[in-house]
């Protein structure tokens, strides 16, 4: 499955780096603790979080994640979007809370 398929299925908003919609998804990881994501996410995972500050971009870039999905209707800060464009990190947003977004993605990926 590609990032674009998730965007279509869940009607996600694309906030940065549209070229990343072609990325392959290897799975998903849900956490708001950045060290946990650093330690335990896998290459190609989509990452669901409610964090919106610019360090999420460095984490996603360093772990080669396929996209970040910011949940719960939160919006990425402007500097986060800017950094994400620079670092070629795709940021998506959804009004769905963590649990609902995770459940739907789980169904699609399993």
Partner 1 sequence: MALNITENIDGIFQLIGGNFSTAGEASTQLKHKLAEIGVDEEIIRRATIATFEAEMNVIIYAAAGWLHYYITPGSIKIRIEDMGPGIENIELAMQEGYSTAPEWVREMGWGAGMGLPNMKKNSDTFTVDSVVGEGTTVEMVINFP
Interface contacts to partner 1, rule CB under 8 A: 32-36, 38-39, 43, 49, 51, 53-55, 57-59, 61-63, 79, 83
- How far is it, in rounded angstroms, from Cα 81 to Cα 97? 21
Min dist CB 8 to partner 1, Å, is 29
Cβ distance to partner 1 smaller for residue 57 or 92: 57
Per the structure block, which two tokens stand in for 81?
């979007």
Cβ distance to partner 1 smaller for residue 80 or 94: 80
Min dist CB 71 to partner 1, Å, is 13
DSSP symbols for 36-73:
HHHHH--TTEEEEES--STHHHHHHHHTT-SEEEE-TT
């Amino acid at each position: 499955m590609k990032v674009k398929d998730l965007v279509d299925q869940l009607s996600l908003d694309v906030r940065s780096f549209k070229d990343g919609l072609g990325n392959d998804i290897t799975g998903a990881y849900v956490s708001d603790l950045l060290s946990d994501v650093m330690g335990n996410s896998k290459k190609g995972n989509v990452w669901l979080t409610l964090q919106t500050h610019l360090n999420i971009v460095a984490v996603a870039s360093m772990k080669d994640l396929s996209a970040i999905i910011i949940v719960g209707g939160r919006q990425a800060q402007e500097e986060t979007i800017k950094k994400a464009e620079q670092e070629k990190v795709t940021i998506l947003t959804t009004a769905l809370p963590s649990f609902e977004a995770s459940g739907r993605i789980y169904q699609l990926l399993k």
